[in-house]
Amino acid sequence: MATAIKDIQEDPRELALQEKVATGYQLEDVEEMTDRYRDVLVNTIHIAADLEVVTLPTYSPAIKTSPTLEDKISIAAACQDELGHAQMMYRILEDFGYDTHSFLFDRDPEEWRTFQMLEFPHEDYIESVVSMCYGDRAGYITTVDLEENCSYAPFARSLRKVNYEETFHVAHGERWTKFFWNQSEGSRKRVQEMVDFYFPLCAAWFGMPDNLKTRTDQLSYRIRGASNDEMRQKWLSRIVPYSEGVGIKVPAHFDEEQGKFVLDYEAPIYLDEEKRKWDYDRQITWKEQLKVWKKGSQHKVPSIARVMSEEWGKDLW
């Protein structure tokens, strides 16, 4: 096996393409791709598409519980945006032999590639706006990186609209998180509770630390421009000053000595899924963390099954 991997790494066509994209060259055509480029690109878009779609069952409970008609509309509009983003990704994936209908409706929900941050159905509107404020900000940082750096031009171009719309979700989240922080003692408590829950989920959105990562094809083929740690740093540099400005407590701060933002806890940490509570003092191993991510939360399968079955029933169609 080891020899096989070495062979691919030393394949002159693979190396030539890596050098070409390193100079800023963008591909327009599937025919220009090498096998390994194609694999890492398709994998990236595949996960991005799954992540767009799982926002629907995650956000939808908040449509029912949000306080005013405007809030309901804004949540529904965000869901519509996310599905639109998925549609564009499916359109690209079809050029690589994917069948959108079976991809969406025939796949076993357990096979979906989702991230923990988007797996917990929102219990109320405050959870939605905190999730938009911290989570959509994290998502936005990854999609902006892809738009700016992805060497497959059609994907990079398609993300212009995606990022344009994500800015609305983030702005919506920041505005209302601040509003509920100042509205009442009860709403402030709920905001803090939700930030305590979402912060480690969002910090983990960017994946493992760079020094532990073994697969680096996304960077060597310039599918992405920034590494996990660079993107996490970018997220912290936005989210920590925002939170401090509002008064929300977050488990991270700017470290003067290192000249960068650092987490106040040692990731990965243990999550009590039932209580939605992190034990900031209980560190788990990366092996355990990867197992948790791979399995998904208890909500993952029911949520995706709900998208596939459409709760309204077949009469809708």
Partner 1 sequence: MATKFKGKKKIDQKRERGGKEPKYYEVFARKNSDSELSHVGSVEAPNDELAQVRAWFIYDQHKWREMCVIPLDSIITVTEEGKSAKIKMG
Among 19, 94, 148, 272, binds partner 1 (CB under 8 A): 94
Does residue 73 interact with partner 1 by CB under 8 A?
A: no
254 bridge partner residues: 261
255 bridge partner residues: 260
Residue reference for tokens 């994290």: 138
Question: 137-173: b or e for each residue (b if 16 or more CB lie within 10 Å)?
Answer: bbbbbbbbbbbebbbbebbbebbeebbebbeebbebb
Distance CA 252, CA 129 (A): 20
Residue reference for tokens 């992405």: 224
Distance CA 74, CA 77 (A): 5
Choices 211-219, 241-249, 291-299, 309-317 (CB under 8 A): range interacting with partner 1: 309-317
Among 17, 159, 195, 236, binds partner 1 (CB under 8 A): 159
Does residue 279 interact with partner 1 by CB under 8 A?
A: no
Residue (of 93, 55, 92, 46) closest to 76 by Cα position? 55
Binding mask 162-181 for partner 1 (x = CB under 8 A): --xx----------------
Distance CA 87, CA 168 (A): 19
Among 20, 161, 213, 238, binds partner 1 (CB under 8 A): 161
Does residue 97 interact with partner 1 by CB under 8 A?
A: no
Shortest Å, Cβ 157 to partner 1: 3
Does residue 156 interact with partner 1 by CB under 8 A?
A: yes
Distance CA 60, CA 76 (A): 8
Q: Which amino acid is at 262?
A: V
* Cβ nearer to partner 1, comparing 167 with 216: 167
Does residue 158 interact with partner 1 by CB under 8 A?
A: yes
Does residue 275 interact with partner 1 by CB under 8 A?
A: no
Choices 54-62, 138-146, 243-251, 301-309 (CB under 8 A): range interacting with partner 1: 301-309
- Using the 8-state DSSP alphabet, how is residue 120 labeled? S
Q: How many residues bind partner 1 (CB under 8 A)?
A: 36
The pairing of strands 269-272 and 260-263 is unpaired
Please tell me the number of Cα atoms within 13 Å of 275 on its side-chain side.
7
* Cβ nearer to partner 1, comparing 58 with 303: 303
* Cβ nearer to partner 1, comparing 127 with 147: 147
Choices 17-25, 102-110, 194-202, 248-256 (CB under 8 A): range interacting with partner 1: 102-110
Shortest Å, Cβ 83 to partner 1: 9
Distance CA 51, CA 82 (A): 9
272 bridge partner residues: 277
224: helix, strand or coil: coil
Does residue 210 interact with partner 1 by CB under 8 A?
A: no
* Cβ nearer to partner 1, comparing 95 with 288: 95
11-70 binders of partner 1 (CB under 8 A): 28-30
Identify whether the C-beta of residue 103 lies closer than 8 Å to the C-beta of residue 93. yes
Shortest Å, Cβ 166 to partner 1: 11
Per CB under 8 A, residues contacting partner 1 are: 28-30, 80, 84, 87-88, 90-92, 94-95, 100-101, 105, 108-110, 154-161, 164-165, 301, 305, 308-310, 313-314, 317
